[in-house]
């Protein structure tokens, strides 16, 4: 698939260079000028990665790794065609995405984005802005991200991305983050902030550790960050991913800026069901409810393989029905749509009543993720009619 895609990209780029899309020349030049702040670094990074056999930037020769400006300019001049092609593909992507977004918006459909909190160590973001991250003058890691041990993992989760130097970011009025959010605002109508708790406090592990056990909590930017964001971006809709082990400062930060939090029905049926934050009778309006998220099993898969007998008994008691593999999707979808949460999100796998083979992602694993694909013939008229009826019935 990658070879086919590369061949098509080459064909399109060659056609453009032969003047077959003359109407794009002016807009492309404008794009390169408007997006210069990130686009130049992005193109140079990809060219250098190709020149260094795909190695991570921190394995490159020092002139490349430490961004010797004269050397970088020479490389860019020598490989001008490759640089221009990378920029042109970004131009075409954004042009097509904006057309798709306009089409969706015209149909009353909003696009909901998902913003990772951290940036990968081997990324143009870290290479081009080393002062913003916990790395030394040679580009080596000092502190990495993760979460501490909990009920799911005795070792915690060691993610490996460099944590932010929030003092430097604050001195720069969070300009890198602001530009990041502005770029996402070009793509989406609302945006989920993943790992929201790290804006309050984040877990930093010394580089070289093999588990997250020896990390420490550090104070995040908290309200100061969101005051600057609100001042510069206005009321662009942000959603707080407030799942997991959360404490009061996280909830206070979320609520101070009136960001919706998340409710996941799969989490609602533990021992604390009556008082659970995830059970529908405890919701207020400013939340987004999911049957399950991209990190969960499908609802049928969760019921079949993850939910034990005690959880199934609590579901029966709560719904007043005998819940089975055959009806669990319908019951959970109705539970979500019938809640007071202002937005209800139903994964397409749940609408199609797929089992665990339709799962999207398994957190803390690196294989067999994000490979599920929706096939065109799966969205039948019956599925559409059922969704339309439920949407009408619950005034969604």
Distance of alpha carbon 49 from alpha carbon 351, whole angstroms: 42
Q: Which residues of 101-122 are buried (b: 16+ CB within 10 A; e: fewer)?
A: beeeeeeeeeeeeebebbbebb
Of 320, 339, 332, 334, give the one whose Cα is nearest residue 390: 334
Q: Which residues contact 261 (CB under 8 A, 6 or more apart)?
A: 239, 240, 242, 251, 254, 286, 287, 288
Options 155, 295, 330, 355, the catalytic residue = 295
**Is-catalytic flag, 295?**
yes
Structure tokens at 66: 């430490």
SS3 of residue 394 by DSSP: coil
Annotation says 194 is catalytic = yes
Task: Considering the candidates 241, 242, 350, 353, report the single residue annotated as catalytic.
Answer: 241
Q: Quickly tell me which residue has 């609520």 as its tokens.
A: 255
Structure tokens at 367: 């294989």
**Structure token digits, residue 232:** 């510069």
Helix (H, G, I), strand (E, B) or coil at 29: helix
Identify whether 285 is a catalytic site residue. Answer: no
Residue carrying the six token digits 């056609």: 15
Q: Which of 84, 189, 194, 330 is catalytic?
A: 194
- Report the relative pairing of strands 343-345 and 287-290 from DSSP bridges: parallel
Tokens found for residue 283: 């919701």
Q: Which residues are catalytic?
A: 194, 241, 295
């Amino acid at each position: 698939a990658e070879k086919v895609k590369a061949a098509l990209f080459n064909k399109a780029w060659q056609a453009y260079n032969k003047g077959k899309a003359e109407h794009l020349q002016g807009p492309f030049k404008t794009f390169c000028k408007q997006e210069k702040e990130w686009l130049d670094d992005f193109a140079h990074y990809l060219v250098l990665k190709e020149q260094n056999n795909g190695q991570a930037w921190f394995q490159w020769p020092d002139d490349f790794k430490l961004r010797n400006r004269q050397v970088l300019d020479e490389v860019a001049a020598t490989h001008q065609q490759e640089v221009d092609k990378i920029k042109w593909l970004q131009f075409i992507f954004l042009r097509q995405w904006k057309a798709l977004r306009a089409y969706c918006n015209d149909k009353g459909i909003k696009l909901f984005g998902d913003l990772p909190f951290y940036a990968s160590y081997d990324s143009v973001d870290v290479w081009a802005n080393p002062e913003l991250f916990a790395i030394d003058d040679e580009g080596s890691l000092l502190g990495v991200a993760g979460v501490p041990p909990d009920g799911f993992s005795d070792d915690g989760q060691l993610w490996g991305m460099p944590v932010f130097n929030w003092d430097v970011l604050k001195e720069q009025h969070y300009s890198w983050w602001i530009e990041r959010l502005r770029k996402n605002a070009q793509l989406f109508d609302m945006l989920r902030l993943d790992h929201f708790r790290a804006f309050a406090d984040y877990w930093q592990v010394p580089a070289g550790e093999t588990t997250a056990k020896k990390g420490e909590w550090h104070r995040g930017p908290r309200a100061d960050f969101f005051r600057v964001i609100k001042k510069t971006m206005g009321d662009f809709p942000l959603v707080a991913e407030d799942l997991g082990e959360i404490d009061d400062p996280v909830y206070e930060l979320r609520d101070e800026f009136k960001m919706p939090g998340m409710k996941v029905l799969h989490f609602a049926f533990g021992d604390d069901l009556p008082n659970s934050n995830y059970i529908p009778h405890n919701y207020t309006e400013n939340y987004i409810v999911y049957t399950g998220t991209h990190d969960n099993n499908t609802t049928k898969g969760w019921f079949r393989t993850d939910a034990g007998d005690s959880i199934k008994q609590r579901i029966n008691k709560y719904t007043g029905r005998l819940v089975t593999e055959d009806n669990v999707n319908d019951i959970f979808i109705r539970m979500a749509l019938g809640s007071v949460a202002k937005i209800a999100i139903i994964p397409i796998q749940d609408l199609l009543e797929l089992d665990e083979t339709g799962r999207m992602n398994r957190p803390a694993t690196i294989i067999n993720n994000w490979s599920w694909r929706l096939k065109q013939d799966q969205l039948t008229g019956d599925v559409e009619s059922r969704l339309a009826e439920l949407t009408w019935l619950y005034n969604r």
